[in-house]
Amino acid sequence: MGHRALVAYERPDGRYDRHYAHWGATSLALRHKITAKTPFAGEGKSGIRWKPAIEPTPQDTALSCEETAKFDFQQIEAFYVVSLAWVVTTYIPLWFGPTERADRRVGALVAVCDDHDAVHVREWFRATRAVVRDMVGRGVLGEHEATNYLASRTTEWAGEHREVITVV
């Protein structure tokens, strides 16, 4: 399957180009490998052809900030945003999915600082979503109410300590 990631590069016009990295979520290592000298985080060994970690051809171009965050949250494990100054912000996509048939493009991107932080965020979210799914299964909450609750709960939980981008 791969540890799929998306990388959004800021453009001078304020829009973004979004690229795919098949193993880009592995240990969230791309956050340290994307630089002005290695924009696609590729490594070449002597005598071996250079192979980028991030696909150089963008999947999508000239996206707004909001548009970059519209993707299948079940398929992507990490989302990176690269500023013009080559500052890389790492996010973990959290699919709200109050039911298995729910829209896979609805969730939150939660900023994390490293792999251990990402594990903490995922564990908290899985436990919270499990309770919400139980409430939906029992008819206490509808899907729309559950999605709204998860959005507000994730933002509240993150507080001022981390950035959350909600996509509903």
State the Cα–Cα distance between residues 65 and 165, nearest whole angstrom: 10
3-state secondary structure (DSSP) of residue 13: coil
Closest CA to 36 of 84, 89, 68: 84
**Quick check: 46 pLDDT over 60?**
no
Distance CA 29, CA 64 (A): 25
The whole-angstrom separation of Cα 125 and Cα 150 is 9
151/144 Cα distance (integer angstroms): 11
| Mean pLDDT, the chain, integer | 94
pTM metric for this prediction: 0.93
pLDDT at 47: 59
Per residue in 1-13, pLDDT (tens digit) is 679 999 999 999 9
Domain ranges of the chain: 5-167
Q: Which residues in 66-99 are b (16+ Cβ under 10 Å) and which e? A: eebbebebeebbbbbbbeeeeebbbbbbbbbbbe
The fraction of the chain above a pLDDT of 70, given in percent, is 96
> According to DSSP H, which parts of 21-76 are helical?
30-33, 65-68
